[in-house]
Amino acid sequence: MTSRAFIAGCLGTSLTADERAFFRDAKPWGFIVFKRNTQSPEQVAALTAEMRETVGWHAPILIDQEGGRVQRMGPPNWPKYPSARAFLAINDPIRQREIVRLSARLMAHDLRQVGIDVDCLPVLDVPVAGSHDVIGDRAYAHDPDQVARLGRAAAEGLIAGGVLPVVKHMPGHGRARADSHHDLPIVDASLEELRVHDFRPFRHLADMPMAMTAHLVFTALDAKNPATISRKIVREIMRGELGFDGLIMTDDISMKALSGSFEAKSRAAIRAGVDVILHCHGIMDEMIAVAGAVPEMTGARARRAAAALGRIRHEPEPVDLESARAEIAAALALSA
């Protein structure tokens, strides 16, 4: 059976009998792991192996491992990583880029050790004055070109470590004045403002293998529909103007910014041109609804999925873990 176009989570540190049965039948294209699913390295490795066993292939397994306040695997079992904004303290731009790449390379090592091969990083959003702190220090800078430069460094570090990056939140979450986990942000910036500011990092990284959408309304583009379910934004902006030909996944379809049933939201995103629906919470009734609303991974979405996964099917670049961690700590300490 061909995989279906959704990514699913689970409730605990191992799969229940109901979860195993559902995944075997529904065949999600991938899985996502959250803090609730991470107890120890041995347990996470067993969980990711169990997830893949249910679908019968080496399905991608995702995580949000950014560093700072968004880090699903952290102390005491895994190192604490700096936020994106913390790297701005390094004054030398070349050194700054090197340390961002090295930090991502080390995160990739941690993830690969437990069977996780996709990281929802880098954040390419560019905050503006007055925007909600849901992005805040998760952003590398307030300058679009600096965000692009450091975002690419992070993506390169992940790929070198055999982990797939996901650029987010396309076409830009930096102007949001509300948290899309709870409310629908409305962005009234002009198309020209969006082009020179919000869109720039995504245009610079249009060669990346995967992207995650933003649950925002851009009134200059589509005054009615959030980007995730806007045919105009997905097809004309993301695919057209930004030139992104990689796999596009939604942000979590459970977020309150999107209204309607899970079937309706999932179908709307697929109609808009999104490739894969992301459902994070592991709630069975919701997962069943999403699975019933999405197509199989065939045609262009299958091509994009295969091309994305092909970027990480290699041996990771060698790294000296101890010296790399010391180098990052020293660079940030000297800049403090």
Catalytic residue flag (residue 181)? yes
**Domains held by the chain: number:** 1
Give the CATH number for residue 87. 3.20.20.300
- Residue 323, judged by CB atoms within 10 A of its CB (0-12, 13-18, 19+), counts as exposed
Query: Looking at residue 132, what is its pLDDT?
Result: 86
Query: Looking at residue 336, what is its pLDDT?
Result: 57
Global confidence as pTM = 0.96
Query: Looking at residue 256, what is its pLDDT?
Result: 87
Catalytic residue flag (residue 275)? no
The answer to whether the beta carbons of residues 126 and 81 sit under 8 Å apart is no
Cβ contacts of 302 within 8 Å, gap of 6 or more: 2
Query: Looking at residue 314, what is its pLDDT?
Result: 83
The answer to whether the beta carbons of residues 116 and 48 sit under 8 Å apart is yes
Residues of the chain predicted below pLDDT 50: none
Query: Looking at residue 322, what is its pLDDT?
Result: 95
CA dist 124 to 146, 152, 214, 238, 328, Å?
A: 10, 9, 11, 14, 22
Cβ contacts of 188 within 8 Å, gap of 6 or more: 219, 220
Pairing between strand 65-67 and 70-71? Answer: antiparallel
110, 251, 252, 275: the catalytic one is 251
Structural domain for 180, as ranges: 4-335
Q: What is the pLDDT of residues 117-142, one digit of tens each?
A: 999 999 999 999 888 888 999 999 99
Under DSSP, is residue 185 helix (H, G, I), strand (E, B) or coil? coil
- Which two three-digit tokens encode residue 10? 């689970």
Query: Looking at residue 73, what is its pLDDT?
Result: 97
**How many Å separate Cα 232 from the centre of its chain?**
22
CA 132-137-140 angle, to 5 degrees, is 115
181, 182, 207, 314: the catalytic one is 181
Query: Looking at residue 25, what is its pLDDT?
Result: 98
- Residue 25, judged by CB atoms within 10 A of its CB (0-12, 13-18, 19+), counts as exposed
Of 73, 86, 10, which is closest to residue 38 (Cα–Cα)?
73
Phi-psi group of 172: left, alpha or beta (phi > 0 → left; psi -120 to 50 → alpha; rest → beta): left
The answer to whether the beta carbons of residues 176 and 232 sit under 8 Å apart is no
